[in-house]
Structure 1
Amino acid sequence: MTQEIHGTVADGFEGVREEFAAFVAGERPDYEGQLCAYVQGRKVVDLWSGTEADALYGVFSSTKGAAYLVVALLVQDGTLELDRKVTYYWPEFGAEGKGDLTLRDLLAHRAGVVGTDTGFSLAELADDRQLAERLADQRPFWRPGTAFGYHALVSGALTGEVVRRATGRTLQEIYQERIRTPYGLDFHLGLPAPQEPRFRSTQPMTPTPDQQTLLDATPTGPHTLTSIAFNRNATEPTDLASLPNMPLLRAKGPASVGGVASARGLAGMYAAAISGVGEQAPLLKPDTVAEFGQFHSVGYDLVARAHKSFGLGFQTTADTWHPFLGAGTIGHSGASGSQSFADPWSGLAYGYTRRRFAFPGGAAPENNRLAQAIHRAALAH
């Protein structure tokens, strides 16, 4: 039985509803997902299937977009300077040869501290302050600044500690006051207890036999760089899919993977960043968007073991995922399939969430057809 499609689209975006319905028709009967988009600050797509309209999901690394937006605001304010050494703000970080690394390189995944030799407990993964304390003393896994690799579980803690040292406040507090509350965003870094009933627990990935063969062929030794980055070297190796199902992680909202959001919240945040929403002005100036969307790390990612590219924290979405988007598009995907981004050229802000993990992790494959349908309609208007 195919899930029913709910929600609305603006005139001219009817093809997006058709594309979403066609995708859902080919999915499992228990599919749950949401799709939302803004163009120039106006909501043009608000669709969902298999769940309540205001359900919240763990969005994994899509959380990082909120963290980097806070950093972008502080750089725009002059509170942070991209080419200052991290140790200017956080002296302890200089241990083990990390003293010359700049904030710019830290944001671009060039620090080399993707994890620790012995891994983290689940309680540490939920607490950015504890992660930062452990990472300050860690020897980097490559010479800082010479290469890059995705800091999957720790980048939010690293940048968050710089934010805390520079402002005396946590990244989560600044996000709440300057971004989430003013724009009324359904995207939380620290889910309030009264909102818990809206949370839908993440369901594990169920690969096909061919997909399972690919998974089985992937090196998973606990001391590989990839395994260290994803905390498989810990005494209790991390089951990535289960992280948002931990109440402690949802409550603390670690800035790498702890966000809880709807597609409305994801798209609304990026609309706020580049266009503003309602009576609220854009958070970022065009020059700030351009600098944070500029390519900074391009080539072979030592953790992902594949070609990747990053701006200042944000994924360079047009290169990594959707080549039809404008240059300088900023955004981030999440392990279970979520994706969100802002394309400053078309004014498009996009958000997608789903409950069940998609193979092979990261932005789910359907994002390409859904985002392309929205982008096509946006350009026509």
Structure 2
Amino acid sequence: MHYTQLIGSLFLLPCILSASACVTPNPTPAAFTNFNDNIFFFPAANAVNWKTLYARSLQLPDESLLMTWENYPAEPPLVNHPIYKSVDGGATWSNFSAIKDQVNGWGMRFQPFLYTLPQAFGGYPAGTLLAAGVSAPFSLQGGVYIDLYVSQDSAKTWNFVSHIAYGNGPEDITTGHAAIWEPFLMMYSGSLVCYFSDQRDSAHSQKLVHVTTTDLHTWSAAVDDVSYSAKNDRPGMTTVAYIASKQQYIMTYEYCGTAKCAVYYKTAPNPLNFNSATGIALVGNDTSKTVPKGSPYVIWTPNPAKTDGSGVIIASSGSLEPVLINDDSASPQGWKVVNVGQWSAYSRSLRIITVQGKKKLLFGNGGNMGDPNCNSVANGVIEVPY
């Protein structure tokens, strides 16, 4: 199944595609300032279909920033996940490196994710960079891997480490096709956890699972995190954050099918036991009861207005330019809708960074599925909302 066939079968509803897919580029911002909608990568004229999607970021110890995304130039050569770097607080970016398929001959095609090891692990020192992503052939036939790569030189070069998971494919969203998607990495209790979306269980169109490793090479069997009894329901796009003040974890996901891709969340004291927690619809507490839909992302950070160790949960979705924020309780009634000035995107990512020592919120935008002619990569840097 080629990209055009995959697009034709997308489960995303028109209502969750951003209405602001085309944005007029802003002037290049000054270094180390706050800004929004800073487009720094325009796809090639012959790029196919979505052109760019699914931006993900990372910050290095020297405060430089990395950004990667799904990239769709015409093939050959094989697609890869480009790495761009900024040394001025995200104002300007340069092409730095790329995560390339070194083992399958397929390319690195979907949903990259970047992670820094917070401790020595698997024979690598603390601070080593990891990248997970989906490798699949252009035809989307013949199998799919979620693969793990490592960099020991601050993202200059990348080397294959292991296959995290395998599906027989085809890599499309047809129920019954053994596809896998959307890796998210996190350390927990001496293991590296990889959450992902899993179509390999014939009882479900899709469910959310995780696998773990203690050595970066051998991965456990998949454990369920979210599944629904209706076979055609499709929970997807796991992200997880640690609420340090409560010693709780929060997971967000889109609930496509019965819930029409509304954003849901779960909380649990153990991030390996989300399956026993109840999914809760994430709804704004504004007068219109705003319902975010599609491709969520969640983070937690200490509240910049308080000194008691309490924090703020920040959630993004594909359907809204605003973010939704909550206190540490994650109360269903506590989600405040906050305008942040950054256009929405498919799986817009969030990261707390430091800019000259001060905490800021970084947005990473790939494109939107709504209008592939306007799919550029952009970022924004703002004060942390609370």
Give me the TM-score of the superposition, normalised by structure 1: 0.26
Higher normalized strand content (fraction of residues): 2
Relative contact order (C-alpha < 8 Å, sep 6+): which is higher?
Answer: 1
Give me the TM-score of the superposition, normalised by structure 2: 0.26
Higher normalized helix content (fraction of residues): 1
